[in-house]
Amino acid sequence: MSRVILVCFLVIGFNSLSQLTKDSTEKSTKKWYDKISIRGYTQIRYNGLLQTNEDLECEQCDKSWGGEGGFFIRRMRIIFYGQIHPRLYFYIQPDFASAPSSSTLHFTQLRDAYFDVGIDKKNEFRLRIGQSKVPFGFENMQSSQNRLPLDRNDALNSAVSNERDLGMFFYWAPEKKRKLFSSLVSDGLKGSGDYGVFALGVYNGQTANRPELNLNRHIVSRFSYPFQVRNQIFETGVQAYKGKFTLLSTSSGVKFAEDKLYDDERIGGTFVLYPKPFGILAEYNIGRGPEFDKFADSISTQSLQGGFVTACYKMNVGDQTLIPFVRYQKYKGGKKHELDARSYRVEELEIGAEWQMGKNFELVVMYTMSSRRFEDYTKQENYQRGNLLRIQAQLNF
């Protein structure tokens, strides 16, 4: 199935590139450097205040959780992008503060590198080629520059580590909806960006910056529709993906499938009430994937489920904005990207507020109350519970 979709994408892409060649004869008064823009943001965090348990960690979230803590550069990103042709858009985003582990910081890593080919003149139909976000989950696609809680939820983010992979994605949205998607971000309403009303994609499945390790490709599809009722804007969506995942790392002694290949499939739903002024974001997903089983000392395909709900209230005072928020999340399942497809049981409540001093500076203060059981072959009885106060300063430029 994935090969059929890939062939269709290649045919569409070839026809679109042929049209680009024809369109390239059109004269433009703009130079190449006038079509390229640069922006970015930096996030500095401190998680050490009021910490009650140094062994409480979140590997996929923030590697400065737990231990001695200290100041931490969570992200330092510069984005190069531009509509270099009426039907050709590019986007490149490196991160200069990636953390491969809790003891290795500030490595440069590629996050996004893709281009969009417009299939029609209005670019309502687009083909995205390269490394980009996989269209699964609203909060996954929402930029960390815009998200209220400091980290993404475990339940849906465990589907795609770093939210990205290498592949080809087809997006469709009417021109009117594309403008709405854009305004939901530019107007400060915490939108996810323009990932189309309908999306269909084929991607490697081993996540960003990792080579493919099997002959199978993941297939993902999403339908999400924003609409307005009087002054309120809503968005509902459903998404699903299916593929095979090859384990990345295993402990000596743990039992696993000979080829390390496991089913990896999920389906999820999304509901959004954009904050005008009260907002709600809720998502839930179910599925199957690899997970460590401590009773059998093995990794097997097991069911997973979980989701979250975030409520917020947006208050504007002059050119400043204050958004208090609360998020509750719960997850039961494995994390395929971690050692032994580590088994998780998560329940967490976060209460915080984001203060925007204009468009260039933001401060988030958030109190986290977390209960986490995360177990692998080495740590088979690892239940951690605790609280901590987290602070993040963000510069936008």
What CATH topology corresponds to 2-14+35-396?
Porin (2.40.160)
* Cα 295 → chain centroid: 32
Q: Where are the domains of the chain?
A: 2-14+35-396
Inform me whether the pLDDT recorded for 193 exceeds 80: yes
pLDDT digit string (tens) for 92-141? 999 999 877 666 788 899 999 999 999 999 999 999 999 999 999 999 99
Inform me whether the pLDDT recorded for 44 exceeds 70: yes
Angstrom CA distances, 355 to 184, 219, 251, 282, 346, stand at 18, 39, 44, 22, 28
Angstrom CA distances, 166 to 24, 104, 341, 353, 356, stand at 27, 25, 21, 35, 34
25-29, 41-45, 59-63, 328-332: segment of lowest average pLDDT: 25-29
Inform me whether the pLDDT recorded for 191 exceeds 80: yes
pLDDT digit string (tens) for 304-339? 999 999 999 999 988 999 999 999 999 999 999 999
Task: Report the DSSP beta bridge partners of residue 39.
Answer: 79
Q: Note the pLDDT of residue 112.
A: 97
pTM over 0.95: no
Task: Report the DSSP beta bridge partners of residue 286.
Answer: 267, 305
Q: Give the Cα-Cα-Cα angle 384, 48, 338 (nearest 5 degrees).
A: 45
> How many residues are recorded in the chain?
397
d(C-alpha 358, C-alpha 355), whole Å: 9
pLDDT digit string (tens) for 342-354? 999 999 999 999 9
Q: Note the pLDDT of residue 24.
A: 52
Task: Report the DSSP beta bridge partners of residue 222.
Answer: 199, 239
d(C-alpha 201, C-alpha 11), whole Å: 14
Inform me whether the pLDDT recorded for 28 exceeds 60: no
d(C-alpha 203, C-alpha 2), whole Å: 9
Please report, rounded to a whole number, the percentage of residues in the chain having pLDDT higher than 90.
83
